[in-house]
Structure 1
Amino acid sequence: METSISGLQAKLKKLEKTHICNNYFPTNRGNLLVSGFWLNNFGGRHLSTAEPTHPPPPQAPTSPPPPLSFNPSFVTQVVTLLQTTDTNDWTSNTTLHKLLFLSPQSLSPLSLLRITRGLGSTAKALQFFHYIRTTSPSPPDPLPLSSTFQAIFELASREQPESATKLYELFTSSRDQSIPLSINSATLLIQFFGRAGMVEKSLIVYEELDPDRRNIHKSECPPNERTMDIVLAGLLKRNWSGRRVSEEEIVGLVLKLGEHCVFPNNVWLSQLITRLCRSGKSNKAWEFLHDVRRLGGSVEAASCNALLTGLGREHDYVRMNMLLKEMKEQKIQPDVVTFGILINYLCKLRRVDEALEVFKKMRGNENDEISVEPDVVHYNTLIDGLCKVGRQEEGLGLLEQMKSRHESAPNIVTYNCLIDGFCKAGEIERSHELLDQMYKEGLMPNVITLNTLVDGMCKHGRINSAMDFLNQMRQKGLKTNAITYTVLISAFCNANNIDKAMALFDEMLKTGCSPIAIVYYCLISGLSQAGKVDDASSVASMMKKVGFGLDIVSYNVLISGFCRKNRLEKAYEMLKDLEEAGVKPDSVTYNTLISYFSETGDFRTAHTLMRRMVKDGLVPTVVTYGTLIHAYCLVGNLDEAMKIFTDMSSASRVSPNTVIYNNLIDSLCKNKKVEVALSLMDDMKAKGVKPNTNTYNAMFKGLQEINWLEKALRLMDQMTEQACNPNYITMEVLTDWLSAVNATEKLRNFVQGYEVSTSIA
């Protein structure tokens, strides 16, 4: 059975080519075929505001005019005789035989239609049909038999309104017996099958019609607006039951209808464009809108707004401006939503000056054709945009403008944007002034106001003030939420006040406020950093019980905490839990474990983990190599340390940093391999790695051990050239050494920034 848009296009094409008399098969019946397609293929429901559970039997169509005169008393007499006589005795009943076969009006189509209807049941109607066919002295005319079967279809549709299958069996039976299908029978069957979602059956019935009856008056029946409504309702408002229709197919079908001057209204058009844009197909949406316009369809501001939203989401301001220009040329008046979209996306990109220009154009002047009155949303969007780029004073200017315009008076959102701007700038007092101003204007702060001020104070080191402010606001009846607690718990964790953070967490639970995931993350990190790794593990368990999953950062924090406590079994337990939860270990996970095993001297396991890291698709970082090099240097295995250094520089192409060079230089100097250490300094210069004070201190110590003063003086000059300031270790080493060789003047010049690498007298 066809379930694709191409199938529907074929049906529409068939409908376009069909010439049907409007009295018998007008366009709306063609639409019934289309509607049936959606019901059958997409599991949708009939487009009715009050739809019964089962498709109701359609009303019998009006009978065609009788070819002979019609006598109601004759029909009544025959029906009575048929009802009172056993069906097995119909053949032997001479009175019945005379009435039906010897009367001039007996076998007229209308008489047989009325008689068959009067029998009241499908079973008796079928028996009557067979009686007529087998008992008639001469072969009956096909037309009266068609009327008989029409009545049979009507009775069957009423007896079993939910059984379209039974009705189709009757249709098949009539076709097998070569009974021609009347227009009214076809209409009844198509209606019934269409409402039951059996669109293919409807098409079979239609094909069964005599071609002459399909083309009675040669009047055109093209698709109309109702066709478009049925198609788009099926596509855009239905559950697909597993079937998938692409946006390209939808657009292709709509444009196909557009070629026949049938277009979606602006609501449908806007929905289609929105759907395309949300699927990342703004290019297709652009083409679609212009194709509809090219074919002669009506395009209004709402449809353009839908496209502007999609283009804004992709930051495509070139085409946004093009569309605005086209709107002006085509006299499509931008509305308040149009300007709101532009201002919103410009502010999101921090292009506030351009947003202000749009705002200015929006208000227009006496000579402008465009003049849209801004509302409070436009002002709030601009104020928020200004505050986010640190221009809160200009935001205050807009606030004053709003106060002078009754229709766009500032609201709580306006003040919350300004309070947030001043809090981020560290001007907490100005934020409190705005809060007082809110109260004076009769605006009550909400929980967003509270959270903004609490967050601002915490981020600027005023945690105690934030707690005092929170208590004051509580006394005024303002309730807290999960964000309030999250801000405070995070602040106390960062301040290493874990006890206060846990007290707030307990309070949060007692008040019935459900913690969000970030609260647990903050506590896990804070407790681990404070060395309370068991408490952190308990919080992680609590987190999983309430339905949250740990992220890789939390697992890494716990693994690191257990490694620092030398509790390898718990670290492995966390690693196993991580893998079972479907979270992939990252470079930090491996580096943490490699560092632990390197520091404990288990280099075999460290290298095994490094190979597993590569197998998992992760590239060893400078931290990975640095950890191993540092560990080998600590145990005095310089050969292995230099081997790893060479490998990272050549095979792995990871550039060593200053820390790695310092570890190697320090170890080499301690082992009196000063020349190798000096060669590493040259390597640093070649690779653009800048030495620091620790680098020079290590070299000075190594050079002192072998009393290589000339080289030390050159390094002192190099240190001065690179503006690398000596520290107390530098001065301690050089003072002791230069004093011993009567070169304190050199040290004085070095401190003053003069050159010292001249020969000593």
Structure 2
Amino acid sequence: MNVTHAASKQSSLLRLVKSEAPTTCHTAILRHFSAEPNLAPPPSTDDSSVITEVVSLLQNNDNDWNNNDKLRQLLFPSNNSPHSLYAVSLPKITRRLGTTTKALKFFEYIQANSPSPPEPPSLSPTFEAMYELACREQPNPLSKLSELLYKSKDHNIPLTINSATLLVRCFGQAGMIDKSLLVYKELDPVLQNTHIRNVLLDVLLRSGRVDDALQMLDEMLKPDAEFPPNENSIDIVFTALLKRDQSGRSVSEEEIVGLVSKFGEHDLFPSVVCLTQLITKLCRRGKSNGAWELLHDVINLGGGVEAASCNALLTGLGRERDFQRMNTLLKEMKEKDIHPNVITFGILINHLCKFHRVDEALEVFEKMSGGGESDGFSVEPDVILYNTLIDGLSKVGRQEEGLGLMEQMRSKHHCAPNTVTYNCLIDGFCKAGEIERSHELFNQMNREGVPPNVITLNTLVGGMCRHGRINSAMEFFNDMQRKGLKGNAVTYTALINAFCNSNNINKAMELFDEMMKAGCSPDAIVYYTLISGLSLAGRLDDASFVASKMKEAGFCLDIVSYNVLIGGFCRKNKFDKACEMLKEMEQAGVNPDAVTYNTLISYFSNSGNFTTAHRVMRQMIDNGLMPTVVTYGALIHAYCLVDNLDEAMKIFRDMSTTSRVPPNTVIYNILIDTLCKNKNVEVALSLMDDMKHKGVRPNTTTYNAMFKGLQGKNWLEKALKLMDQMTEQACNPDYITMEILTEWLSAVGETEKLKNLVQGYEVLASKA
């Protein structure tokens, strides 16, 4: 690059350096680069002592260099040799001066006193030494670097490759990316080699300038590129792309696959670790097609692929249930001589088991261990693989086969079952309701010295609780506690839930207190369970206490908990407390749902406050919630209680016409019972016909209400028809039915009809 061209290029860089003052102090980790070849031959060994003497004079006579004849004589010999000391050793002297201030002063001294000033290019190594000094200086090395760069441009001194590399890196680390780019552009094109391009690539990618980096990479990846990429290039690029906190725009999977292909054309491929991470990243993004293409591009271009990269792709395909391509990849591994390992088969078997394709998983297991029609692979299964299969078998109710597999792992592969093995089997037997078999396995694992863990405890406790053996679960839990195996939140949750469901709220609260004392932080489920149980048991003060504890623990009440509390307060006629809950809901940002509105409508209806009940119903509709059969049922029931049949029937008709909410058996029963009690048996019978027309099945309660009404009217023929209908529909009579009909039919001599009804019930009961 000629001097004129260099000067024109320097002007733009000069403007940037002068205008962009550094705002942060940055200390670069300086690497000592090999200097560019000097124009003059290296000094002789004798010159080293002279250099030492020069440095000593410069250090000791800081303010009197111009009057130091000895210094002048050493630097500028009288013979004016072209290989005089200053021409070949200025970089060495500069480095030993320690500061850029002194180095610049020395440079100016040379410029002013040299009888034959050196050409600007020969001073490039000297400035390289000064850049190195500036990087070490505090508090603001970037300011010093900018000053030196300005000075070098002022004297038309070109950058060396090492100087440019140092400046690009330092400015880049300080976030001054445009300066880094301009330094690179100012460098002689001949010196813009792969090394400095790699440095700039690293700077651009770290700072999020992805498009600039990809543009430079495109130039390097051209088939006829003067400076093609090397191993460092590919490491820099893919390491940056794999960073989780990568700044700048994200790189699409198409771009990633394209880059791998272009690097492959230069016989460069990501390392096994890098390729595996790239495939994993694509699969986690849901881009398994891109991951498939990426792996196959590397294989087809001749890159080295190992099992780890294939395993990453198998994992991604497994998440998508793409078992066809999983099998295809396994076959391709055999063809390409990529040896699968136990993890390869573990991934395939795990995903097959996860989606209950256990028979296929067993086939894969047989092939991998050398049995059946082998695909040429023989891999020794480990305990993890056995556990995966045993768990898969247990989850589909094939515990006996799981037991057989456990014996096989002992005898055939000398692989000892561990805690996970037993936990899988115990869980399977617990879910099947075979609690005794689970206990047998638990005792067996203890005999074999396999230690149970908290999962073993939770599995057995949970299994016993689910199958109604709460006392046994409690005894087992206490026994394990005495033996040093402590429960956790899951254990207590299972027990608390079981005691709440069996209406033993006192025991549930006792366990809750024990849980708190044991330092086991309850989760939200424990709180929800207790609030529900206490509210249903009418212990609203305790429920409110648990709710306050829940909030103290950092949990929020959900809509279900609020509804349970509001319902409990309404049932206790503590509407002021219910209002407090509604206000708290509003403040917490929890919107009322249909259950909330239905609870309030039921409360106001049962209180006789129908005006407010209808107002709440209108608000429910305004808030986008459609009334349900429960909503209408609450209003109809309340009107029936006060014998306002006209309003009840009006709402009933509105259900089918205006709101299109079909009435259920409960609503029909309420109306039929009230009509019969009010001697409106004809209307009640018409409702029975309406039920048949709409496909709503009557139950024993429906028939009992009709029998009472018909008895009051003494309409025997209608009653006998209903009895036949009851038998046809397999609707079993209860003690109320028998009481009504025995008294009535005995009085009129129709006991035979009653016997037929009872016989029909007995036949149905025996079939059941």
Task: Indicate if the aligned counterparts of 2:43 and 2:85 stay in contact, CA closer than 8 A.
Answer: no
* Cα displacement string for residues 313-368 of structure 1 (whole angstroms, at most 9, x for unaligned residues): 23333333333333334333332112212222222223322222222222223973
Letter in 1 for 2:599: T
| Cα distance in 1 for residues equivalent to 2:525 and 2:716 | 57
- In the TM superposition, residue 535 of structure 1 has moved relative to its aligned partner by 0.9
1:408 alignment partner, SS class: coil
- Alpha-carbon separation, structure 1, partners of 2:648 and 2:258: 66
Instruction: Indicate the residue corresponding to 2:157 in structure 1.
Output: 179
Structure 1 residue 198, shift from structure 2 partner = 4.7
- The yes-or-no answer on 1:544 pairing with 2:551 is yes
CA distance, structure 2, for counterparts of residue 307 and residue 365 of structure 1? 26
Partner of 2:765: none
CA deviations over 1:617-658 (Å, ceiling 9, x no partner): 444333233223322333334444344444443444433322
Q: Report the counterpart of residue 587 of structure 1 in structure 2.
A: 594
**RMSD of Structure 2 on Structure 1 (CA):** 3.9
Q: Is the 8 A contact 2:438 2:460 kept in 1?
A: yes
Q: Distance in 2 between matches of 1:679 and 1:289?
A: 73
| 2:28 maps to which of 55, 79, 85 | 55
| Deviation of the 1:245 alpha carbon | 5.8
Q: Which residue of 2 aligns with 1:559?
A: 566
Residues 242, 546 of structure 1: CA spacing in aligned structure 2 closer, same or farther, 3 A cutoff?
farther
Q: Which amino acid aligns with 1:719?
A: M
Letter of the 1:452 partner, please give it: T
Query: Take 2:258 and 2:358, find their aligned partners in 1: how far apart are those partners?
Result: 39
In 2, Cα distance between the equivalents of 1:216 and 1:504? Answer: 70
**CA distance in structure 1 between the partners assigned to 2:52 and 2:476 by the alignment:** 94
In percent, how many aligned pairs have the same letter? 69
Match of 1:317 in 2: 323
Quote the Cα distance in structure 2 between the aligned partners of 1:403 and 1:163: 68
Structure 2 equivalent of residue 407 of structure 1 = 414
More divergent stretch after superposition (88-97 vs 224-233): 88-97
What is the aligned partner in structure 2 of residue 152 from structure 1? 130
**Cα deviation code 1:194-234 (max 9, x no counterpart):** 55565543332121022344489999432233222223333
**CA separation of 1:172 and 1:254: change in aligned 2, threshold 3 A:** farther
After superposition, the Cα gap between the structure-2 partners of 1:229 and 1:139, relative to the gap in structure 1 and judged at 3 Å, is closer
SS of aligned partner of 1:55: coil
Distance in 2 of aligned mates of 1:249 and 1:167: 37
Q: Is the 8 A contact 1:129 1:145 kept in 2?
A: no
- Confirm whether residue 66 of structure 1 aligns to residue 39 of structure 2: yes
Compute the displacement of 1:287 (Å): 3.4
Deviations 1:74-113 (A, max 9, x none): 8778777766777798599999699499935369753554
Task: Measure how far apart 1:601 and its partner are.
Answer: 2.4
Alignment of 1:2-13 (within 5 A): none
Q: 1:611 to 1:83 in 2, by over 3 A?
A: same
- Name which of 270, 287, 296 aligns with 1:281: 287
Distance 1:78 1:558 in 2: 92
Q: Distance in 2 between matches of 1:119 and 1:447?
A: 69
- In structure 2, list runs of 5 or more residues that go unmatched: 1-25, 196-223, 762-768
Q: Of 126, 137, 148, which aligns to 2:104?
A: 126
1:438-483 deviations in Å (ceiling 9; x for gaps): 2332233333333333333333333333333334334444333333
Contact 1:273 1:303 in 2 (8 A): yes
1:162-241 alignment runs, 5 A limit: 163-175=141-153, 178-194=156-172, 196=174, 198-214=176-192, 220-237=226-243, 239-240=245-246
Unaligned runs of 5+ in 1: 1-52, 755-761
Counterpart of 1:326 in structure 2 is 332
Q: How far has the Cα of 1:538 moved from its partner?
A: 0.8
Q: Which whole-Å CA distance do the structure 2 matches of 1:325 and 1:469 have between them?
A: 50
SS across alignment from 1:370: coil
Residue 306 and residue 119 in structure 1: after superposition, are their counterparts in 2 closer, same or farther (change >3 A)? closer
Specify the SS of the correspondent of 1:558. helix
> Residues 68 and 108 of structure 1 are in contact (CA less than 8 Å); yes or no, is this contact kept in structure 2?
no
Tell me what 1:359 maps to. 365
Pairing 1:689–2:696 present: yes
Moved more, 392-401 or 189-198: 189-198
From 419, 428, 444, the counterpart of 1:421? 428
Indicate the residue corresponding to 2:463 in structure 1.
456
What secondary structure sits across from 1:633 in the alignment?
helix
Question: Aligned partners of 1:101 and 1:701: how far apart in 2?
Answer: 139
Larger relative contact order (C-alpha < 8 A, sep ≥ 6)?
Answer: 1
Check 1:400–1:120 CA distance in 2 against 1; reply closer, same or farther (3 A cut): closer
Q: Which amino acid in 1 is paired with 2:101?
A: A
- Report what 2:404 is aligned to: 397
- Distance in 2, Cα, partners of 1:572 & 1:242: 51
TM, length-normalised to structure 2: 0.80
Aligned partners of 1:676 and 1:600: how far apart in 2?
27
- The one-letter code sitting in structure 1 at the alignment partner of 2:29 is P
Q: How do 1:127-142 and structure 2 match up within 5 A?
A: 127-130=105-108, 141-142=119-120
Aligned partners of 1:67 and 1:109 also within 8 Å:
yes
Moved more, 674-683 or 590-599: 674-683
Q: In 1, Cα distance between the equivalents of 2:69 and 2:102? A: 16
Counterpart check, 1:607 vs 2:614: yes
Letter in 1 for 2:328: M
Q: Alignment partner of 2:414: what SS?
A: helix
Q: Give the stretch that moved more between structures: 395-404 or 743-752.
A: 743-752
Question: Paired residue for 1:103, among 77, 80, 87?
Answer: 80
Query: What one-letter code is carried by the residue in structure 2 that aligns with 1:479?
Result: K
For 2:394 and 2:241, the matched residues in 1 are separated by 43
| C-alpha separation in 2, matches of 1:512 and 1:621 | 44
Q: Deviations over 1:554-578 (max 9, x none)?
A: 2222222212111112122223333
Q: Distance in 2 between matches of 1:387 and 1:539?
A: 38
Relative distance call for 1:681 and 1:174 in structure 2 (3 A) is: farther
| In the alignment, structure 1 residue 271 sits paired with structure 2 residue 271 | no
Q: Is the 8 A contact 1:735 1:744 kept in 2?
A: yes
CA contact (8 A) 1:277 1:285 kept: yes
Mapped partners of 1:75, 1:469: distance in 2? 88
* Aligned residue identity for 1:410: P
CA 1:318–1:598 in structure 2 vs 1: closer, same or farther (change >3 Å)? farther
Contact kept, 8 Å, 2:35 with 2:125, in 1: the verdict is no
1:336 paired residue number? 342
Show the counterpart of 1:290: 296
| Residue of structure 1 equivalent to 2:202 | none
